[in-house]
Amino acid sequence: MDKKDLQEQIIQNYQADEKMMILIFAQWCVNNGLDPEELYLRAYPGQKGNHALREALELTVSKEEAGDVPDSTVLGALSLFGNDDLAFIVSEEIAGRKKKGTAE
């Protein structure tokens, strides 16, 4: 594998991992009765209509069909990709849920 092929493979892997991170976030929202687009807009007000998020939403399943997505998993995935603003919004939702006594 030459240098250019290696670079392309790294980019493709990163993009696939990023899509997985978005799917984790979207499924976590569904599992917790939250609107992923609304949370995303709270974190990034200037980025309405995120295409990758819409694609991920098409892949989500109902809470009953989905496996558990722990809070730590979604926060870790968001942090790994530098989505600190979105991780902050998710943390606020987690804290609000804990105050209501519905924490995982």
In this prediction, residue 103 carries a pLDDT of 53
- Tens of pLDDT, residue by residue over 31-89, are 999 999 999 999 999 888 789 999 999 999 999 999 999 999 999 999 999 999 999 99
- Tens of pLDDT, residue by residue over 93-103, are 999 988 887 55
In this prediction, residue 102 carries a pLDDT of 56
Q: Cα 67 vs. chain centroid, distance in angstroms?
A: 15
State how far the alpha carbon of 101 is from the alpha carbons of 13, 32, 34, 104, in Å.
Answer: 39, 13, 16, 9
Q: Which residues lie closer than 8 Å to 58 by C-beta, 6 or more apart?
A: none
In this prediction, residue 50 carries a pLDDT of 86
**pTM (2 d.p.):** 0.87
